Amino acid sequence: MDRLGMLAFSVIGVVALVVLARLFGFARRPQIADPALAARLVAEALPGFRAAEAAVSRDGSGALVAAHDGRVALVRPLGDRFVVRPLEAPIVARAGGLLRVRPDEAMFPETALDLGESVAMRWAGRL
C-alpha cells in the first residue's frame, strides 16, 4: 500500500472512532440537574461544607452553592465530570440575568451562569 493510501486509511479510521464515540454518548457534558445535586457535589468535594442555598444555571452548565458559614463554591462540568472550586475572591460581572464568575485560580476558566435577573443580582452581591 502506498503512503497516500495508508494516510487515507488512518484518517478514515480516526473519523470512524470519533463518530462511534459521539453515537455512544462519550462526548456529552454532564449537567447539573437541580440544586440538590449541586449541594451534594460540593459536600463531597469540600469536607465540612454544609450547603444552605444553591443556584443552578438554567442550562445546567454550572451552579453556585453557599454554606451556612458564608463560604461559596462554584460547581461546573469540566470534561466528563464535575469540578468544585471554593470562591475566595472571585472576579464577578453581571449583565442582566447572566453572571460571569472567574475564580481566583489562574488556570480555571470563567464560568457564565444564566440565573435570571433577580437571582444573579443576589448572588453578585453575595460574591
Contact 103, 71 (CB under 8 A): no
Q: How does pLDDT run across 70-116, given as a tens digit for each residue?
A: 899 999 988 778 999 999 888 899 998 999 999 988 888 889 999 99
Question: CA-to-CA distance for 114 and 104, rounded, in angstroms?
Answer: 21
CA dist 122 and 64 (Å) reads: 12
For 14-41, write each residue's pLDDT tens digit: 888 888 877 776 666 788 989 999 999 9
CA 19, CA 56: separation in Å to the nearest integer?
Answer: 31
pTM of this structure? 0.77
Side-by-side strand order, sheet with 81-87 = 51-56, 63-67, 72-78, 81-87
Say how far apart CA 77 and CA 74 lie, in whole Å: 10
Taking residue 96's Cβ as centre, other Cβ atoms within 10 Å add up to 11
